[in-house]
Structure 1
Amino acid sequence: MIAYIKGELVEITDSAVTVDVNGVGYQIICANPFYFQDKLNETVKINTYHHVREDAQLLYGFRNHDEKTLFTHVITVSGIGPKSGLSIVGHISVDEFVIAIEEEDEKFLTQFPGVGKKTARQMILDLKGKLPFEIRQQSDQTSGQANQANQSIDQQVVAETIEALKTLGYSDRELKAITPQLKQSGSVNTDELIKLGLALLMKS
């Protein structure tokens, strides 16, 4: 099992980063590769999950150890594969996810791509009381947290999309003009929002 990769970040694409370790380039699939944009051509350490299947060996990367731990628990749920697990972990904080599970907030969980009511219920059954995290908010502060989580996701996805479009050469003025439409889309998928942003920019 490859627990982490440490080396020079040499490439960032819309789905992965490449880290050079002593002349060997490791491609690491990330929920939002552009999170590592400010580390390009610098030494990075990325927590990884080594996924082995019959036709491929894939590395999934995470911003920190908690995200990786959450991912390993989420993909144990029937109906949740690495792609869906990565999308979930990449667009929500660990605390928000734990709160949604513990409060059995099916509506919140079904907002992720590939998660329907049946899968959301299975996630709650499999993970409630079993996630190795302490919610860092006090109990009297947790009320309403899950209800606010969707807004947090929207804001994070829009911010990530804007950063990704900046790397493609678009100006702050151009991006500011389409930001309201990105927010109104309601998408929780960065890739989809980037495609929408590019379409809007092409029209402008």
Structure 2
Amino acid sequence: MIDYIKGEIAELTPASVVIENNGIGYLLHISLNTYSALNGQKSSKLYVYEAIREDAHLLFGFNDKHERELFLLLISVSGIGAGTARMILSSMNPHELESVIASGNADMLKTVKGIGLKTAQRVIVDLKDKIRISEGVGIPSVVDSKIVEESVAALVMLGFPQNVSHKAVSKILKDKPDCTIEEVLKLALKML
């Protein structure tokens, strides 16, 4: 798997960029956000998502890891393909998208070409727990739902009720979003 491509920008359009690296030109499909970041630059480092299909091998490029993480979350939703995810990321910047999902604003998602009400609602339902806005800071951040799931499961195995465990884990991650599973469990055991 390709993590990133770094090189000179050979061609740039609002939908794609060709990055030349060691004599090879890589065509990457990009969002308008990435296009804006690349415009006027001579070289770049783009994070990559590689889509291998029966009929094509496509590369999608992102200016930062955060945008790529959102793209991966979007394509995990049933009915959202790589093209639609790129369209969503072109319609709003990553922080706006996170705010729209966190607030449950299906009407705003419906403004994206190709997104109907049911798809917008599915995106919100599937991703709301994975995207959270840090209170006080006002900056959205992606929360690793694996940490929540594994921490709650561990506490339940230790004999604590699931709803109580989930509340404790949520409170800990709200206060300290960078905690590891081990740190969450230690703090939760002190709370419960």
TM-score normalised by the chain length of structure 1: 0.62
**Paired residues of 1:50 and 1:59 also in contact (CA < 8 A):** yes
Partner amino acid, structure 2, of 1:59: L
**Which runs of structure 2 are paired with 1:19-34 in the superposition (5 Å)?**
19-32=19-32, 34=35
Change (3 A) 1:108 1:69: same
State the shift of 1:117 in Å: 0.4
Q: Is the 8 A contact 2:20 2:26 kept in 1?
A: yes
* Secondary structure in 1 matching 2:27: strand
Larger RCO (alpha carbons 8 Å, 6+ apart):
1
Matched to 2:133, the amino acid is I
Determine helix, strand or coil for the equivalent of 1:102.
helix
State the distance in 1 between where 2:45 and 2:106 align: 35
2:161 corresponds to: none
Q: Report the Cα offset of residue 87 of structure 1.
A: 1.3
Find the aligned partners of 1:91 and 1:116 in 2 and give their Cα distance.
Answer: 15
Query: Larger radius of gyration, structure 1 or 2?
Result: 2
Give 1:14 deviation, angstroms.
4.0
Q: Give 2:4's aligned residue.
A: 4
Aligned Cα RMSD in Å? 2.0
Structure 1, gaps ≥5 residues long: 143-204
> Residues of 2 paired with 1:43 and 1:109: CA distance?
33
Q: Identify the residue that residue 69 of structure 1 maps to in structure 2.
A: 69
Is the CA contact (8 Å cut-off) linking 1:106 and 1:121 kept in structure 2? Answer: yes
> Which letter does structure 2 place at the counterpart of 1:138?
G
Verify the 8 A CA contact 1:9 1:44 in the aligned structure 2: yes
Match of 1:87 in 2: 87
Aligned AA (1:75):
I
The match for 2:113 is 113
> For residue 136 of structure 2, what is the aligned residue in structure 1?
138
4+ long deviations beyond 2 Å: 32-35, 134-139
TM superposition shift of 1:6: 0.5
CA contact (8 A) 1:11 1:17 kept: yes
Any conservation in 2 of the 1:6–1:43 contact (CA below 8 Å)?
A: yes
Query: What is the CA distance between 1:135 and its match in structure 2?
Result: 2.6
SS in 2 for 1:109: helix
* 1:14–1:102 Cα change, 3 Å: closer
Task: Tell me which residue corresponds to 1:57.
Answer: 57
Question: Partners of 1:83 and 1:24 in 2: how far apart?
Answer: 24
Percent of pairs identical after alignment?
35
Change (3 A) 1:68 1:34: closer
Structure 1 residues 126-150: Cα deviation after superposition (integer angstroms, max 9, x where no partner): 111113xx535638x79xxxxxxxx
| Contact 2:7 2:21 (C-alpha < 8 Å) held by counterparts | yes
Structure 2: gaps spanning 5 or more residues: 140-192
